[in-house]
Structure 1
Amino acid sequence: MNRPGVNIIPIHGKTPKIHDSAFIAPGCTIIGNVTIGAESSIWYNCVLRADVSRIEIGERTNVQDGSVLHCDPERPGDPDGSPLIIGDDVLIGHMAMIHGCRIENRGFVGLGAIAMNKAVIGSDAMLAAGAMLTEGKVMGARELWGGRPARKMRDLDDAAVAAMRMGVAHYAENAKAHSQAVDETLKG
């Protein structure tokens, strides 16, 4: 797997598995038991570290610039640990910290937001920019949560959900353009 400018680091016998159609921007570091699905995009200077559990990212999901993704191992009383499971068509904004939680299909994480172990972001739900979803909190489908700690603010209407879906389509297309630009730059 040759991805110039990307650090792909196996650890503990686990090597990242990245679909050929995924865009991984230069400057990213992807470590250990990470799976990235088709047409997903990991943008500039992200770190995905699955050295103690696993990170699973579905299809057409984007993780925007500078985000950090991690997980937690099993512990006494917690045999499953806190893997990070991210569904399809998920938007994760710039500089987010996503740790050992679950983001269901079409979930949205705003700029600089934090989601902690065992939290759940429901399908078509939005964690607002700068929000902190604390450990074990569960956001239902189509809910908007904000604040530190995050709490439910309201339900999302059809227009908000449609806008998030447009964002997914935009990032899928933009990733193709960036992939081509990176390739052309490397060819010199």
Structure 2
Amino acid sequence: MSFDPKNLPAPVIMPWHGKWPKIHPTAFIAPGAVVIGDVEIGPEAGIWFGVVIRGDVHEIKIGARTNVQDATVVHATQFRAGTYIGDDVTIGHGAVLHACVLKDRCFVGMGATILDEATVETDAMVAAGALLAPNKVVPTGELWAGNPAKKLRDMRPAEIENIAGSATRYVGFAKEYLDLLKG
């Protein structure tokens, strides 16, 4: 059986109230992803299958080399708070990010939820399935887990190094998919 990229659904990229998403040409937007409105996506970022990024009520900014994995939802809070995601961030499958700040080189585990005006600082991690309540801050070098999330422990140096490694690996995956889709 041969593969024809023309048989895949295109990503949905659409404006909202006259604002179109700004997507760097080196970013990978997977087939079936949805990006709406006041959204900026940086160089070599990866927006994977089934992701919804809805910049209809406030802005959303996603930095360079950040990967937003399958089935993640990114939204904001009208008139109050956008969502700001830094460079080299890994966001696991099925996460929900709502009006929050993820600083450079942080990690959000699969199925985690980060709520309004919460912050995950550089080199910090929110575990899979955790719920980070509004206005909470995960400090640099800490791993938070649970519902509601709280500090589980300090991160090990190898875990912090793996955050940057994850971003690098996903840039490579995105390039492979871009090549595949070119046919």
Query: Fold conserved (TM > 0.5)?
Result: yes
**SS of 1:111's equivalent?**
coil
Q: Which residue of 2 aligns with 1:63?
A: 68
Report the Cα distance in structure 2 between the residues aligned to 1:117 and 1:108, rounded to whole angstroms. 17
Letter of the structure 1 residue corresponding to residue 125 of structure 2: M
Q: How does 1:1-188 map to 2 (within 5 A)?
A: 5-74=10-79, 81-184=80-183
Letter of the structure 2 residue corresponding to residue 179 of structure 1: L
Letter of the structure 2 residue corresponding to residue 96 of structure 1: A
Task: List gaps (5 residues or longer) in structure 2.
Answer: 1-8
Per the normalisation by structure 1, the TM-score is: 0.91
The structural deviation recorded for 1:183 is: 2.1
Task: List gaps (5 residues or longer) in structure 1.
Answer: 75-80
Letter of the structure 2 residue corresponding to residue 39 of structure 1: E
| CA displacement, residues 14-67 of structure 1 (integer Å, 9 cap, x when unaligned) | 100000000000001100000000010100110000101000001000000010
Q: What is the percentage of aligned positions where both structures have the same residue?
A: 46
Q: How many residues align?
A: 176
Per the normalisation by structure 2, the TM-score is: 0.94
The structural deviation recorded for 1:91 is: 0.2
Tell me the C-alpha RMSD between the 2 structures: 1.1
Report the Cα distance in structure 2 between the residues aligned to 1:182 and 1:47, rounded to whole angstroms. 20
Report the Cα distance in structure 2 between the residues aligned to 1:73 and 1:11, rounded to whole angstroms. 14
Letter of the structure 1 residue corresponding to residue 172 of structure 2: E
